[in-house]
């Protein structure tokens, strides 16, 4: 730089300094706010400290000591508000520390992002939308400090904004001195705008304290607001809503005598034992606000929870009962109780399950009918939990697969085929496994059969161990004729503290999960796997941050050996680890299989084990029907690092096999089990064979000669055929199993775009129940996959879809799914963009499928129509409804009333079709549209789409405010920062979706 330029610059700097000095004398606050950040660093001392918007100080506040919490950090701008409140410090701290109450007193609050937070706990996070100068700002907060006197939040907002908010409570002359400190840094608060932002926040904090005073004067906080609970062993402060099991009780009644005790009596006794186990106040059971019950199989109560509640003197506001049948129920109620407590819906939940099958059998032997509780037809629980869907298809029932033992025995055969072992080798494997469980049961005081058996004893058949279904004798089967009950007391940690439960009794529920496999056994891709268990294990591990392989204590639902082997393989657990047996009870043979409630006993026993090993984690699993419905949970005496969640992971999609009773040609035997009568003689068999086209043939065998061959030889891999309705052996050499047939819905990812193709060309892509169920799962997976941004739904190059499969519907199989309704997609709105790529006809349900999409690309020669009136039907999958939203009234009426198809070119002119493509080109045109969408920020797309869908229902006077509220999610995102930065730097943005 030349000397003359240096001189000119020095003169400008001097003049600026002189002007600033004069202005400081006249308007010191204004200068500090507006000018400070515009001056060179060397001149900032002229204007004093960095921006501090000093609110007027009340004379009563003058001289009061206060230090800004160090956790607030050194922000570019800081602001403070303070007030004296006429309440005790504990009450004030209780309200201030309850983050959810901010919506009532913090004027900066606009909305919560996600669930409203609970009481502040150090390390916890939550999302909040603030309103700063009327502009929405999305902030991701972390609680940096939360104790009896100080709350500090650190947050990240839009455009690189960082914030700090601290609330400090000081005792003062019988009342409370409350100070709110706020700090701001980042580009949005630099320069003149920063001064205005800071002043606005200062004013908001002053108003917030006025609202806080009003709220406290109105009684908020009276009665003791729930506050973080100190966990003594770890020194951590816990959210008061953290769910914890504080008491467990079990009842085993091995001798049944009159007067006959019914299941509700046993359940009440189990709860009384759970109360004693908790060492808490005597009134803990009576204080329960909910009772969750596993449905009893031995006696059908309409609301078991209500019956038990009456026996123990509780008056719960809520009762919950599981589905009539399903061993997953024992874990489901535990997970649901934890969820309700974590959500603040309940504080004390009693979980019960009980069976008196042995007593009922004893009474029947004596010709007596117990006079047990009968409830009126109008009695029902507040809520039901679990699926009541039927367990079997008509074909499964016809061949004999109507009971668990035959299904699991068939699975066992498939497991042996997978391993390539002989019958003797496999029997030795599973008897070793079951022997290890019996050793556990021998040490379990609540086991029904507390005795250890050797593998040889289990393998040897006798009068006491008769053959049931090969390879299972009786002692490898669940024992359902038992009298067992369990009771759990599940509370929040705040309720546990209030009830005086010592913390060494606490076992925390970290995470739960549930899912189901392909519902019908006969339609599964393979009989020796469980994608649902695999998905559950992954979900649990990700939430807890702990691989399942590292879990120290395990209880796998053990009704039959096949169930344990499948679960262990899917979860990556060895079968023969002597330091980690796969049951804590001994399983359903030896500990007992009390109807639906084995899971209750597993959790109760697990709690006792984890108290003995406070650093360990425990895994409990339950299943219902035939390895169909699954639930699991992770527990530990160590507090969780993340709030409890009850997860419902997406199950990996596998091909479904159609089940048939007969077939042409030769099929390969996949599995076989021979059922025996009570004398131990072969009575009948069921054979599962895979046909050349990948279907599963199921045949019942009653012919004595073939039965003897199936029982004495090894038919796995044989070729079999059906002649005159009878199974015949065609080949005794082993062959590989044919692959499953192509799926009726195909998935293909092309970068961030997922192509979903209807794949039933032989039926013109008509939707039957199997296709609808698969489409639902495909859509669920699309919604859950963060790596996929847009989906394209297509039917290939010939036809989009002919709608509902009328032939299938004529047999009573309608394509309606549990969650997404008609056609597996039409009843529940998607949260991501969907594009329909239409070739050929899109008629009836096919038209309704296209109308689900946000955008439609259609070949010029394609047609759309709703011909339902011609068949005496109505377009009830949303077709008529959506047409009225997408087309002018008269055009919609024409389609609906005439039933005539309408060409794509006319619908393009009317605005329903977005893009016209040459025949055969709709998919590529849709992909181009999808790729264009994919270039945009995910949150911006999500928010914009949500506004378009919601805006028609908004009142005119609220519309602008509502769209601003939604838009704030995008405007305050990290992607907004990235988008502006990328534009300024001349590069493509890298979106994170945050």
Catalytic residues, by residue number, are: 848, 868
Closest C-alpha to 904, from 945, 851, 863, 935 = 863
**C-alpha to C-alpha distance for 116 and 127, rounded to whole angstroms:** 8
950 token code pair? 């919601």
Q: What is the 3-state secondary structure (H, E, C) of 505-517?
A: HCEEEEEEEEEEC
Closest C-alpha to 400, from 489, 522, 285, 490 = 522
* CA 325 remoteness from chain centre: 22
Vertex 670: Cα angle to 667 and 673 (nearest 5): 115
Query: DSSP string spanning 138-173?
Result: EEEEEEEEESSSEEEEEEE-GGG-EEEEEEEEEEET
Which uninterrupted H or E stretch holds 24? helix 3-26
In contact, 823 and 767? CB cutoff 8 Å = yes
In contact, 441 and 590? CB cutoff 8 Å = yes
In contact, 501 and 278? CB cutoff 8 Å = yes
**C-alpha to C-alpha distance for 165 and 184, rounded to whole angstroms:** 9
In contact, 133 and 110? CB cutoff 8 Å = no
Q: What is the 3-state secondary structure (H, E, C) of 836-872?
A: EEECCEEECHHHHHHHHCCEEEEECCCEEECCHHHHC
Q: Which residues pair with 554 in a beta bridge?
A: 619
**C-alpha to C-alpha distance for 648 and 115, rounded to whole angstroms:** 17
Q: Is the dihedral of CA 883, 885, 891, 892 positive or negative?
A: positive
In contact, 588 and 598? CB cutoff 8 Å = yes
SS3 content of the chain, % helix, strand, coil (to 5): 40, 25, 40
945 token code pair? 């789409």
**C-alpha to C-alpha distance for 684 and 682, rounded to whole angstroms:** 6
**C-alpha to C-alpha distance for 475 and 245, rounded to whole angstroms:** 33
Contacts of 952 (CB under 8 A, 6+ apart): 885
Look at strands 553-555 and 816-817 and give their pairing: unpaired
Which uninterrupted H or E stretch holds 917? strand 915-917
530 burial via Cβ count (<10 Å: 0-12, 13-18, 19+)? buried
Q: Is the dihedral of CA 780, 785, 786, 790 positive or negative?
A: negative
690 token code pair? 């895979």
**C-alpha to C-alpha distance for 950 and 411, rounded to whole angstroms:** 49
In contact, 753 and 925? CB cutoff 8 Å = no
DSSP state of 133: T
**C-alpha to C-alpha distance for 185 and 157, rounded to whole angstroms:** 10
Which uninterrupted H or E stretch holds 334? helix 329-342
Contacts of 145 (CB under 8 A, 6+ apart): 69, 71, 122, 151, 152
**C-alpha to C-alpha distance for 390 and 387, rounded to whole angstroms:** 9
Closest C-alpha to 930, from 819, 788, 812 = 788
816 token code pair? 């309606």
Q: Is the dihedral of CA 957, 963, 964, 965 positive or negative?
A: positive
- CA-derived radius of gyration, the chain: 34
């Amino acid at each position: 730089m030349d000397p003359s330029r240096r001189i000119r610059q020095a003169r400008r700097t001097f003049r600026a300094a002189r002007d600033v000095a004069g202005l400081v004398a006249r308007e010191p606050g204004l200068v500090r706010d507006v000018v400070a950040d515009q001056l060179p660093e060397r001149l900032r001392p002229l204007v004093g400290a960095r921006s501090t918007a000093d609110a007027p100080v009340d004379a009563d506040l003058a001289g009061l000591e206060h230090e800004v919490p160090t956790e607030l950090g050194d922000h570019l701008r800081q602001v403070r508000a303070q007030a004296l409140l006429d309440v005790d410090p504990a009450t004030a701290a209780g309200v201030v520390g309850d983050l959810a109450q901010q919506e009532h007193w913090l004027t900066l609050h606009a909305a919560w992002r996600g669930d409203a937070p609970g009481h502040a706990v150090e390390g916890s996070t939550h999302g909040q939308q603030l309103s700063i100068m009327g502009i929405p700002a999305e902030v991701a907060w972390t609680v940096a400090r939360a104790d009896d006197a100080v709350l500090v939040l650190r947050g990240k907002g839009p455009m690189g904004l960082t914030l700090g908010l601290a609330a400090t409570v000081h005792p003062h002359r019988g009342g409370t001195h409350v100070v709110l400190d706020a700090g701001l840094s980042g580009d949005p608060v630099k320069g003149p705008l920063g001064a205005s932002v800071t002043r606005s926040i200062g004013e908001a904090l002053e108003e917030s304290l006025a609202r806080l005073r009003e709220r406290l004067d109105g009684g908020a906080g009276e009665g003791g607001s729930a506050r973080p609970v100190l966990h003594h062993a770890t020194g951590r402060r816990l959210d008061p809503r953290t769910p914890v099991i504080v008491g467990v009780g079990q009842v085993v009644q091995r001798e049944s005598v009159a007067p006959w005790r019914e299941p509700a009596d046993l359940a009440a006794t189990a709860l009384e034992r759970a109360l004693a186990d908790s060492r808490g106040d005597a009134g803990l059971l009576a204080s329960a606000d909910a009772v969750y019950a596993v449905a009893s199989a031995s006696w059908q109560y309409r609301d078991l929870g209500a019956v038990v509640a009456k026996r123990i003197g509780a008056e719960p506001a809520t009762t919950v009962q599981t589905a009539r049948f399903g061993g997953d129920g024992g874990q489901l109620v535990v997970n649901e109780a934890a969820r309700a407590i974590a959500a603040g819906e309940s504080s004390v939940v009693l979980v019960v399950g009980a069976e008196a099958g042995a007593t009922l059998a004893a009474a029947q032997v004596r010709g007596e009918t117990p006079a047990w509780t009968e409830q009126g037809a109008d009695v029902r629980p507040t809520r039901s939990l679990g699926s009541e869907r039927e367990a079997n298809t008509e074909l499964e029932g016809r061949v004999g697969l109507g009971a668990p033992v035959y299904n699991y025995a068939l699975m066992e055969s498939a497991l042996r085929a997978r391993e390539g072992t002989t019958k003797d080798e496999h029997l030795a494997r599973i008897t070793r496994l079951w022997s290890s469980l019996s050793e556990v049961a021998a040490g379990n005081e609540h086991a029904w059969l507390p005795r250890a058996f050797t593998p040889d004893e289990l393998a040897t058949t006798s009068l006491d161990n008769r053959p049931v279904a090969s390879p299972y004798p009786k002692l490898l089967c669940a024992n359902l004729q038992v009298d067992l009950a369990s009771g759990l007391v599940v509370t929040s940690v705040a309720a546990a503290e209030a009830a005086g439960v010592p913390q060494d009794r606490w076992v925390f529920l970290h995470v739960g999960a549930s899912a189901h496999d392909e519902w019908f056994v006969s339609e599964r891709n393979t009989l020796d796997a469980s994608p649902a268990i695999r998905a559950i294990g992954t979900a649990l591990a990700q939430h807890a941050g702990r691989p399942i392989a590292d879990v120290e204590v395990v209880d796998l639902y053990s009704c039959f050996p096949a169930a344990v082997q499948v679960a262990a393989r899917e979860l990556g657990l060895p079968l023969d680890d002597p330091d980690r047996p796969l049951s804590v009870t001994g399983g359903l043979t030896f500990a007992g299989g009390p109807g639906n409630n084995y899971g209750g006993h597993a959790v109760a026993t697990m709690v006792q084990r984890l108290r003995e090993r406070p650093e360990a984690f425990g895994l409990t699993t339950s299943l219902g029907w035939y390895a169909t419905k699954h639930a699991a949970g992770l527990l530990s005496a160590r507090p969780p690092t993340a709030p409890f969640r009850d997860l419902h992971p997406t199950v990996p999609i596998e091909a479904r096999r159609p089940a048939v009773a007969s077939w042409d040609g030769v099929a390969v035997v996949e599995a076989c089990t021979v059922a025996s009568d009570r004398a131990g003689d072969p009575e009948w068999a069921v054979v599962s064979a895979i046909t050349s086209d990948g279907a599963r043939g199921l045949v019942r065998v009653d012919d004595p000669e073939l039965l003897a061959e199936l029982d004495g030889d090894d038919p796995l891999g044989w070729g079999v055929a059906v002649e005159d309705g009878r199974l015949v052996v065609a080949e005794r050499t082993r062959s590989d199993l044919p692959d499953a047939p192509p799926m009726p819905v195909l998935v293909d990812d092309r970068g961030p775009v997922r192509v979903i193709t209807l794949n039933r060309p032989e039926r013109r892509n008509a939707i039957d129940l199997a296709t609808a169920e698969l489409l639902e799962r495909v859509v669920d997976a699309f919604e859950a996959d963060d790596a996929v941004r847009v989906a394209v739904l297509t039917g290939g190059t010939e036809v989009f879809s002919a709608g509902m499969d009328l032939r299938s519907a004529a047999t009573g199989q309608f394509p309606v799914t549990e969650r997404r309704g008609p056609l597996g997609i039409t009843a529940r709105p998607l949260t991501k963009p969907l594009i329909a790529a239409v070739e050929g006809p899109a008629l009836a349900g096919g038209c309704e499928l296209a109308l689900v999409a946000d955008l439609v690309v259609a070949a010029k020669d394609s047609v759309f129509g709703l011909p339902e009136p011609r068949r005496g039907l109505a377009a009830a999958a949303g077709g008529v409804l959506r047409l009225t939203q997408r087309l002018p009234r008269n055009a919609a009426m024409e389609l609906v009333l005439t039933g005539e198809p309408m060409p794509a070119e006319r619908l393009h002119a009317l605005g329903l079709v977005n893009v016209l493509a040459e025949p055969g080109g709709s998919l590529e045109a849709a992909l181009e549209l999808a790729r264009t969408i994919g270039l945009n920020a995910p949150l911006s797309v999500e928010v914009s789409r949500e506004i378009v869908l919601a805006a028609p229902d908004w009142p005119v006077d609220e519309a602008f405010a509502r769209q601003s509220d939604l838009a704030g999610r995008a405007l305050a995102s990290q992607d907004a920062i990235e988008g502006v930065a990328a534009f300024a730097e001349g590069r493509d943005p890298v979106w994170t979706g945050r």
